Amino acid sequence: MSNPLLVEISGLPPFSKIQSEHIVPALDQVLAENRAHIDQLIHTAQPPTWDNFVQPLNELNDRLSRLWSPIGHLHSVADSEPLREAYNQCLPKLSDYRSEIGHNQNLFKGYQTIAASPALATLHPAQQKVIQNELRDFHLSGIDLPPEKKARYKEIQQQLSKLGSQFSENVLDATHGWKKHITDESLLAGLPDTAKALAKQQAEQEHLEGWLFTLDIPSYLPVLNYADHRELRHEMYVAYFTRASDQGPHAFKWDNSAVMQEILALRYELATLLGFAHYAEYSLSTKMAKTPQQVFDFLYDLASRSKPFAMRDLEELKTFAKQHYGVEQLEMWEVPYYSEKLRHHRYEISQETLRPYFPLPKVLDGLFGVAQRLYGITIQPHPTQVDTWHPDVQFFDVYDDHSELRGQFYLDCYARTGKRSGAWMDECLIRHRTSQGLQRPVAHLVCNFTPPVGNQPSLLTHQEVTTLFHEFGHGLHHLLTQVDYAPVAGINGVPWDAVELPSQFMENWCWEKAALDLFAAHYETGAPLPQELFDRLLAAKNFQAGLLMVRQLEFALFDFRLHTASPPLPDVQTVLDDVRRQVAVLLPPAFNRFSHSFSHIFAGGYAAGYYGYKWAEVLSADAFSKFEENGIFDRATGQQFLHSILEQGGGQDPMELFMRFRGREPQIEALLRRNGIGGGYGITIKASTPTLT
């Protein structure tokens, strides 16, 4: 039987044909072929040039990427035990291969030769950036290490790969391992009809009477926000914030405690092996920020500005809950509930008020319309059936204003079993030009929205609309690149603290009436979003913005503190508790184990980089301020952003690209203004550990 991962080596992945037994043999074959080609290249590419050395290596890397992308994607969106087993079998093989490449002196010398050659000056700036990045990455891969340390480097990378996968799988299993079956409808008082209908549908799918709730966000969040039954909110809060930990209803079953400590110890060892003081210093070697102190100064400055507003937000909430509901002690599982009550009391609006105006099909039309007005692109469903991993998945083509196909993307919107939580964009195919022609980029856009219930379409909250715009911004960065060299095309080669710029940038249109008028219409009547409802939405935009800001800063500082620590490495929870004492105003109960499901830093690409969300938010807010000056649909400004940012990928320094668009360096004022945080009203928050001074 032929292996679809090997037979269909170009074009879109054959998702429905991929079985778990195909995965390991396919990877083994491609890795063996790549090794043979590399050995041949080393001997034939003399002297090495871009055409006879770098380009063939890029094509080998792309071949491996095209093989692994659908495997990794299926592991995230359609997990099963056989698939998981095959995926995990592959991780050490991939880790070994990458270490071999990073330690290959002949490859390193080839890049050095090209870098020292007069021909370097004749190459495109993006090609020069590829070579510059490769030389940097060789050093970060341990090319300078003696043999015994190279061996240890390889072991560490293997272990980190395995532990990251284990962390992610524990979170997924813990999320889907808890369910709440309810047959007494009185317990559902306060819940929106959409949440009850979803719970009813989930119960029916499992042949149960009544209602079934899970820890997937579309099921969990409405309970925390709206359920009048206090004990139900408490029960779900405990289950959610003790996932994959030593606490809660499944204590120790999928516990990530030891996994986290081992990951941190190995990261520290890896960094010091390469000559860095700690993992944060290692992480910053590929980012915009240059020193750990620069990051700490940035985060603590924002915290000092934001904490007074967070304290005000909390006091207002406590006063409201006490005066209107007699609440003397506000517990964490009550904060979302009474926050929604306060929001509605003050603005007569809630996420549920808005949901009927955001049916997903209409939101997609509006999202594509915004992109068309800004960048001249046209997005339409692919005319023929495309092989996907689930019947709900859609597939779209993206054309530019010259009717040229620029890229394509899969859209997977709904939460389901076997799919990890959250929302993300990932690469399926990377833009890459070879002698055979141009490989156009293809993206995966993934969300976890409430699916359609009965004859009712999927109805989004305004927060979910913002999430969709955010991920689509990442997608545009990947799809609209005009860079023909895969290592710096799209999001590749973009520093991780700049990569959120295009995504956060797109969120701004969710708050503009002219943009909402393109798609905000009642799913039953077609009536547009009323002006008075939009006014209330806008008035509530910065509701509890201080609390939200310090929460994000808490995550960022926790991440960075963990990765600047030196042995003996501190306990993870101890660091989180200390950060909370510094910047938070809401202190969770002792059983809260948020860190145990913090996949961004333990199983994603954000280790010692979570600060990048706020760093890039400064860039995105300042970039959008130019549209505020010129008009939110000003085509000339949109074209400037397209040509200066989206099309450039990682081929140039992001600060240079930003300044090309904005005409100056970024300024923080736009971020503070958009969050309702003024200047001159701050407190001093200083580092409390020696590593921060």
Give me the active site residues, please: 471
Are the beta carbons of 96 and 158 closer than 8 angstroms? yes
195-203, Cβ contacts within 8 angstroms, sequence gap of 24 or more:
195/219, 195/222, 195/223, 195/226, 197/453, 197/454, 197/456, 198/450, 198/451, 198/453, 200/453, 201/451, 201/453, 201/454
Structure tokens at 314: 């909390």
Are the beta carbons of 309 and 546 closer than 8 angstroms? yes
Q: Which helix (H) or strand (E) holds 413?
A: strand 405-414
Are the beta carbons of 388 and 408 closer than 8 angstroms? no
The rounded distance, in Å, linking the Cα atoms of 516 and 273 is 52
Are the beta carbons of 685 and 582 closer than 8 angstroms? yes
The rounded distance, in Å, linking the Cα atoms of 414 and 218 is 9
Can you name the residues that pair with 395 across neighbouring β-strands? 410
Structure tokens at 188: 């559902």
The rounded distance, in Å, linking the Cα atoms of 299 and 304 is 9
- For strand 442-449 and strand 405-414, is the pairing parallel, antiparallel, or unpaired? parallel
- Cα–chain-centroid distance for residue 107? 32
Q: Which helix (H) or strand (E) holds 448?
A: strand 442-449
Are the beta carbons of 176 and 214 closer than 8 angstroms? yes
Are the beta carbons of 473 and 503 closer than 8 angstroms? yes
Which amino acid, one-letter code, is at 234?
H
The rounded distance, in Å, linking the Cα atoms of 563 and 570 is 10
Are the beta carbons of 261 and 252 closer than 8 angstroms? no
For the chain, how many helices (H) and strands (E)? 27, 9
Structure tokens at 150: 């190279």
Q: What is the DSSP string of 298-344?
A: HHHHHHHHHHHHHHHHHHHHHHHHHHHH--SS--GGGHHHHHHHHHH
Q: Which helix (H) or strand (E) holds 412?
A: strand 405-414
Cα Dmax for the chain: 81
**Burial zone of 304 (CB within 10 Å; 0-12 exposed, 13-18 middle, 19+ buried):** middle
Check residue 585 and report its DSSP letter. Answer: S
The rounded distance, in Å, linking the Cα atoms of 382 and 63 is 25
Give the three-class secondary structure for 501. Answer: helix
φ, ψ dihedrals at 670, nearest 5°: -65, -40
**Burial zone of 561 (CB within 10 Å; 0-12 exposed, 13-18 middle, 19+ buried):** buried
φ, ψ dihedrals at 378, nearest 5°: -120, 130
Which residues, 6 or more positions from 65, have their beta carbon under 8 angstroms from its beta carbon? 427, 430, 486
